[in-house]
Amino acid sequence: METPRLTNRRDFLRLAALGSATAFLAAACAPAVSTTPAAAPTTAPAAAAPKPTTAPAAAAQPTTAPAAAAPGATPTPIGGGKFSAPPVTAPAEYKPATGKLEIFSWWTSGGETEALDYLYADYKVLNPQVEVINSAMTGGTASGGNMKAVLQTRMLGGDAPESFQIHLGHELIDNHVIAGRMEPLDELYASEGWNKVFPKGLIDIASYQGHPWSVPVNIHRANVLWYNKKMFSDVGVTDAPKTWDEFFVIGDKLKAKGLPLIGVAESGPGFWAHVTETILISTLGADAYRGLFTGATKWDDKRVTDALNTSAKALDYANKDFTSVSWGDINDLVVGGKVATIIQGDWTPGVLWSKGFNDFGWAPAPGNAGIYDMLSDSFGLPKGVKNRDAAVNWLKVCGSKHGQEGFNFYKGSIPARTDADFGKYTDYHKSASKDWQSNQLVPSIVHGAAAKDSFNVDYQTAINVLATKKDVAAAQSALVKAAKDADFKA
């Protein structure tokens, strides 16, 4: 049962290895991955045992989605501006649903909520009778930790929400598809024309055993350095650092003034693993980084040691309290001039704008120019949901041009669809779209694109221990073991 998944990953890595997103985009016109009707879900082993996630600290508090949001309107204006579009119109023969629609996500920050609300507003226009229940949950270990834990309980208890946010590919496939808990989406992909508008490489990532299992709403870039312009100019820095050495030179200037260079939020695993992922990319380059997940590059490689040493060194330039700061609080440190930079994905501008902060710059993380560390958020269809019609209509909104254009404007990501109009987008989006089409693509580990979920958990744990103990040799041994357990093969 392993082979098809590895084939999909290999296809993605092969496409990515072609050097740029043009491979994805050109392939968008290729025939469908699979046109098998969805009637017979593929059989799969009943018990793929995902690693347990830390239990949520508090029960989720579902809220009813903003019914008040005017049709096609967007809720809160933010620094990036307001997205304006004519209200969405129903396609011919559209069948509005009734009843309730519950949606899980971990989108609770500025930018994220506006993006989600945009999709809800479209949905409400098309399905005015449906009560939308927004069960977004904040916090937890690693991205979406609380939500993933509650979701796991609900899925196992046969009480799935109508749909939920999940990273395209491994995260969904390893945790829920192999266990037989999701419906394949072949029919929807065919009826909505998605086989033509999503890049083939993305559909491959979404697929297992020849069927697509979720709908990508976006493409995020993970390897971006965000910096407080004033803090840089206060120490005479005008250009973003291109290498880790240049980064540390800036760090020394800030240190002399008692200021941290890099914001770190490591109250739980995940944040530093994300930053270290970008250090691995810079130290190994795109090809050898991709090889880490196929067995072609060994985790005991000297370049991995170098990356871990750089990772440990960078922590000397972090906020001192980083082991007690949580991911959700990190942006306030940049806004408040308490740290000069963070290395994060491009969900960051939405958060900064929502805090009324515009005085920031961006650049690829040091040593990452020309490489796009990608991930994609998606929504799928659990088997046996209470309101399947409402769920299917939700997925249609997620994959629609109208929905993706507004959603991604607020989210900071770019649409997964290749036919989106960038005319109304910000400079950041435009630069990301340009890079996506010209850079080498690599998959994010932490955000579920690179490797099986069990490896992701082990990787985040190893780097969390590195952050607290600074023992490079121990971290590398843990990673070698994690790679062995994951059984990476070319």
Fill in the DSSP letter of residue 233.
H
Min dist CB 217 to ligand GAL, Å, is 9
Min dist CB 360 to ligand GAL, Å, is 17
Q: With binding defined as CB under 6 A, does residue 375 bind ligand GAL?
A: yes
Residue showing the smallest CB distance to ligand GAL in the complex: 143
* 103 bridge partner residues: 134, 163
Min dist CB 171 to ligand GAL, Å, is 9
Query: Which residue number, 170 or 220, has a Cβ lying nearer to ligand GAL?
Result: 220
Query: Which residue number, 241 or 448, has a Cβ lying nearer to ligand GAL?
Result: 448
Min dist CB 424 to ligand GAL, Å, is 21
Min dist CB 77 to ligand GAL, Å, is 21
Torsion sign over Cα 347, 352, 353, 354: positive
Min dist CB 435 to ligand GAL, Å, is 18
Among 283, 337, 345, 230, which residue's Cα sits nearest to residue 476? 283
Degrees to nearest 5, angle at CA 70 with 68 and 71: 130
SS (H, E, C) 139-200: CCCCCCHHHHHHHHHHHHCCCCCCEEEEECCHHHHHHHHCCCCECCCHHHHHHCCHHHHCCH
Would strands 130-136 and 163-167 be described as parallel, antiparallel, or unpaired? unpaired
Contacting range for ligand GAL; rule: CB under 6 A; set: 13-21, 69-77, 106-114, 195-203? 106-114
Query: Which residue number, 259 or 446, has a Cβ lying nearer to ligand GAL?
Result: 446
Min dist CB 375 to ligand GAL, Å, is 6
# of chain residues touching ligand GAL (CB under 6 A): 11
Contacting range for ligand GAL; rule: CB under 6 A; set: 86-94, 104-112, 261-269, 306-314? 104-112
Q: Which of 102, 174, 186, 377 binds ligand GAL (CB under 6 A)?
A: 377
Q: With binding defined as CB under 6 A, does residue 220 bind ligand GAL?
A: yes
Query: Which residue number, 143 or 400, has a Cβ lying nearer to ligand GAL?
Result: 143
Q: With binding defined as CB under 6 A, does residue 226 bind ligand GAL?
A: no
Residue appearing with tokens 């790679």: 483
Among 395, 349, 401, 411, which residue's Cα sits nearest to residue 74? 411
Q: Which of 120, 289, 293, 347 binds ligand GAL (CB under 6 A)?
A: 347
**CA atoms of 221 and 237, how far apart (whole Å):** 25
Interacting residues with ligand GAL between 274 and 313 (CB under 6 A): none
Min dist CB 248 to ligand GAL, Å, is 26
Residue 452's Cβ-count burial label (10 Å; 0-12, 13-18, 19+) is buried
217 neighbors 398 (Cβ within 8 angstroms): yes
Secondary structure class of 276 (helix, strand, coil): helix
Among 410, 377, 385, 356, which residue's Cα sits nearest to residue 121? 410
Binding marks (x or -) toward ligand GAL, 227..266, rule CB under 6 A?
Answer: ----------------------------------------
20 neighbors 435 (Cβ within 8 angstroms): no
55 neighbors 140 (Cβ within 8 angstroms): no
Among 217, 108, 221, which residue's Cα sits nearest to residue 166? 217
Tokens of 113: 């909520």
Q: Which of 12, 24, 104, 107 binds ligand GAL (CB under 6 A)?
A: 107
Contacting range for ligand GAL; rule: CB under 6 A; set: 12-20, 105-113, 297-305, 459-467? 105-113
Q: Which of 9, 154, 402, 447 binds ligand GAL (CB under 6 A)?
A: 447
286 neighbors 440 (Cβ within 8 angstroms): yes
Tokens of 322: 């980083």
Min dist CB 351 to ligand GAL, Å, is 8
Min dist CB 220 to ligand GAL, Å, is 6
Query: Which residue number, 106 or 164, has a Cβ lying nearer to ligand GAL?
Result: 106
Interacting residues with ligand GAL between 157 and 176 (CB under 6 A): 167
Tokens of 216: 């990508």
Interacting residues with ligand GAL between 123 and 152 (CB under 6 A): 143
Q: Distances from the Cα of 361 to the Cαs of 112, 240, 365, in angstroms?
A: 20, 8, 12
Q: Which residues bind ligand GAL (CB under 6 A)?
A: 106-107, 112, 143, 167, 220, 345, 347, 375, 377, 447
